[in-house]
Amino acid sequence: MKKIDLKKFIRDIPDFPKKGILFKDITTLLQDKDALKTSVDALAKAFAKKGIKYVVGIESRGFIFGTALAYKLGVGFIPVRKKGKLPAKTRSVTYSLEYGTDTLEIHADALKKGDKVVIIDDLLATGGTVGAVVKLVGDSGARIMGVGFVIELAFLNGREKLKGLPIVSLIQY
Ligand code: AMP
């Protein structure tokens, strides 16, 4: 397969979901078989040989890349979901948004102390979401071996919230 520029497959949607936000649409990347394969393969290459036991994916676009990555690495997948969606007993974390707060949950029995995991989402913006997931996963005693994104909005300095953790992003703005 020829080398492809993943950035070309990201579609910018101005003022979505609200005015002033430039939404980075990944559906155009997912739709292209070579772009999809290139992005999952690149994440797999970054997180191979680290003894990863689970990929933890963040709802909802983190599920798409996270599950494909887990399949490629030959490991299991654990979903982190918005409040009220997971059926069994959960642990939760609440974090601040621009206006108000949001809550994310993980099944209470999903992770054990020492489990090596990688956390995946589609996009790193301010880092608030993934920072909350780092806390949720870290509180279980699991070891976070890295955090991976397809897109990083570097001008928002989300990395600041992930100090000390290996961060991989495939496309930067
Ligand atoms: P943050 O917590 O600010 O890092 O925001 C990250 C979460 O919000 C991710 O789950 C992204 O899918 C979503 N998100 C934030 N900003 C954008 C954007 N400009 N385009 C697409 N998704 C975004």
- Whichever domain contains 132, its CATH number is 3.40.50.2020
Ligand 1 pocket mutation pick from 123, 134, 153, 157 by most atoms within 8 angstroms of CB:
123
What is the mean pLDDT of the segment spanning 53-66? 98
Q: Which atom of ligand 1 is nearest to the CA of 24?
A: 20
Nearest to 122 by CA among 12, 18, 30, 8: 30
Q: Answer yes or no: is 152 within a domain.
A: yes
Identity (one letter) of the amino acid at 108? A
Taking each helix axis as running N to C, give the angle between helix 61-73 and helix 33-47, from 0 to 180 degrees, rounded to the nearest 10: 60
Q: Answer yes or no: is 84 within a domain.
A: yes
C-beta of 158 in contact with ligand 1 (< 6 A): yes
Per the prediction, the chain carries an average pLDDT of 97
Strand 11-14 relative to strand 22-25, pairing: antiparallel
What's the 152 CA to ligand 1 centre distance in angstroms? 9
Tell me what pLDDT residue 1 has.
67
d(CA 153, CA 173): 5
What is the mean pLDDT of the segment spanning 24-44? 98
Per-residue model confidence as pLDDT tens digits over 62-103: 999 999 999 999 999 999 999 999 999 999 999 998 889 999
Q: Answer yes or no: is 16 within a domain.
A: no
Q: Please tell me the pTM assigned to this model.
A: 0.97
Give yes or no: 61 in active site.
Answer: yes
Q: Determine the structural domain holding residue 101 and report its residue range.
A: 49-172
Q: Answer yes or no: is 163 within a domain.
A: yes
Reported as half-sphere exposure (CB side, CA atoms, 13 A), residue 148 has a value of: 30
Q: Answer yes or no: is 132 within a domain.
A: yes
Q: Answer yes or no: is 112 within a domain.
A: yes
Q: Answer yes or no: is 161 within a domain.
A: yes
